[in-house]
Amino acid sequence: MKKLNLTIILITLIFLNSYSQKLQVSESKRYLETTDGKPFLWIGDTAWELFHRLNREEATEYLENRKAKEISIIQAVVLAERDGLRTPNSYGEVPFIDLDPTKPNEAYFEHVDFIVNKAAELGLFIGMLPTWGDKVFSEYPGSGPVVFNKENAFVFGEFLGKRYKDKPIVWILGGDRNIANDDVMEIWRSMAAGLKKGDNGNHLITYHPRGNSSSSLELHNEWWLDFNMYQSGHDEHFNNVYEFATKDRALQPIKPTLEGEPAYEDIAVQFWNYNVSQAEGGRDAVLDKDGLIKDKSFYKEGFFTDYDVRVHAYWNFLSGACGYSYGNNAIWQMFKKGEGFAIPCLYDWHESMDRPGAFDLQHVKSLLEDKFYKIVPTQSLIEKPVDRGENYIAAAGSTDSSFALIYLAKGQSVKVVMSKLKGAVKASWFNPRNGFKKQIGVFWNEGVKEFTPPGSGMENDWMLIFEIL
């Protein structure tokens, strides 16, 4: 009996430790780690409407699905974009009484509590946005309404900080908006101060900017900004995501940086240029009875796919980002068939949980979990590097000279400056589409050697791995 009780106590202690785990900035300032010193591979999912649109059974299914796909942090918004102040959640509750940030509705936050606790039970962190950016004045208004000022932003921040001070949380301010003016800057500073007071400084804070932007542009030297986040956006295939990481890594003081919103799987390229109500034949010519896209040809630039997910993920990591957040067009807005949408979808949220790009994240983790925190971008490994575009090749060495990685987005041949490597190396091909690894051979660090992947062309990406012997 004593042994049984001791076992139960040990299991309980292990559970409680994982349940209350926090993140901190590493000593090198290049990546995040848990409070027990383990490097934290940020593989996120942008589930912005999670608290607002899903009920508890749906939220549980979603979180369990994401855990199985090796996602480590879920990004969700307390005051959501899709009219999150006035349209009730699944249980008929809104966040505030009379739209007043100093009067939180307990019933609404009990639902948020449930999801935060369920994520913690599964070993997931929540990247919690207190509010979407349209609740603060900006040059790009949304459904709003604008409710925050310097005073009530502090009160709301302190409320959230106290409520979740012992939970596995990272605070993300901003909500897809940049800083419009000095008054807005003071609002975000005040909210950050409220969060810090409420949680006794237990959690990291970052900022989610508008597309094609980084928090570093306006906030790098802010006392409360622990690490940078950038949003490369939904403009084009082969987006130059590496430029954000490169610029942020060059700044002083050194802070970690990561991609918080890349091109979403299944979203139309430059979706903002298309309005289904203006299509020839009207809305019904493009969408079916459930509101799903039936005529893909309406979107002339096509859609982002799992290929884009892989390209942007590996380009980010090999450029020195300490994290990458996946996104899917239906998942971020938790679109349900027959209901309204923010951006038209190919599938509903439930079907989208198992889209190919989400599965590819498992291979990202298997390759990078024991490497990402050692990565040093090293384009000089390539004899004639391409500066940008679809033929860009990302190359990285490591802080301990134990490995090197070269990502070939189109399976193109690459000439490697072998003298940049240390000693003899074992070379292998890693297939990002299925996670398989095949050894090529052992080579000396002499001269320049050309490597040609097993396949080439669009959607035929490969990772060349060198392991120092």
Three-state DSSP at 173 gives strand
CA distance 179 to 213: 11
Q: What is the pTM (predicted TM-score) of this model?
A: 0.95
**Token pair in block for residue 90:** 């699944």
Residues 367, 440: Cα–Cα separation, whole Å? 17
- The CATH architecture that domain 2-373 belongs to is Alpha-Beta Barrel (3.20)
Beta bridge partners of 409: none
Residue 228: strand pairing partners: 257
Q: Which of 436, 431, 421 is nearest to 467 (CA)?
A: 421
Per-position pLDDT tens, the chain of length 469:
555 555 444 444 444 444 568 999 999 999 999 999 999 999 999 999 999 999 999 999 999 999 999 999 999 999 999 999 999 999 999 999 999 999 999 999 999 999 999 999 999 999 999 999 999 999 999 999 999 999 999 999 999 999 999 999 999 999 999 999 999 999 999 999 999 999 999 999 999 999 999 999 999 999 999 999 999 999 999 999 999 999 999 999 999 999 999 999 999 999 999 999 999 999 999 999 999 999 999 999 999 999 999 999 999 999 999 999 999 999 999 999 999 999 999 999 999 999 999 999 999 999 999 999 999 999 999 999 988 999 999 999 999 999 999 999 999 999 999 999 998 999 999 999 999 999 999 999 999 999 999 999 999 999 999 999 9
Domain ranges of the chain: 2-373, 378-468
Say if CB 25 and CB 204 are below 8 A apart.
yes
Q: List the beta bridge partners of residue 240.
A: none
User: CATH code for 378-468?
Assistant: 2.60.40
Give the residue among 370, 364, 379 at the shortest CA–CA distance from 243.
379
Q: How far apart are CA 148 and CA 164, in angstroms?
A: 21
Strand 228-231 versus strand 257-259 pairing type: parallel
Common-topology check for domains 2-373 and 378-468: no
